[in-house]
Amino acid sequence: MCFVYILENKAGQHYTGSCKDLDTRIKKHNQNSVRSTKNKGPWKIIHQESFDNTTAARKRENEIKRHKDIRYFLSSVNRPLVPIV
């Protein structure tokens, strides 16, 4: 299984990505191990979707990244946001 996820930090910045192991990937973001999110955390998951394969997940990730305003995208998605733990 593969995932597409959207993260948000306290400053309201967003990051969209995809991975096979969501828990490990989020930990890496929050441990400053990911170049694009380094020193910008802590990050929390605000949206996730699951897919059967990497190709489908990457396609969806690119669709989401094409949106100019991620908040508008999130408000238009029919799926509920992931509860923040």
CA distance 5 to 57: 10
Tell me how many degrees the CA angle 41-51-48 measures, rounded to the nearest 5.
30
**In the chain, what percentage of residues exceed pLDDT 70?**
91
pLDDT tens digits for range 30-54: 999 999 999 999 999 999 999 999 9
Is residue 9 predicted with pLDDT exceeding 60? yes
Q: Strand, coil or helix: what is 62?
A: helix
pLDDT grade for 67, boundaries at 50, 70 and 90 = confident
Residue ranges of domains in the chain, CATH in brackets: 2-76 (3.40.1440.10)
- Give the per-residue pLDDT at 12: 93
What would the mean pLDDT of 13-23 be, rounded to a whole number? 96
Q: How far is CA 17 from CA 40, 46, 73, in A?
A: 15, 12, 15
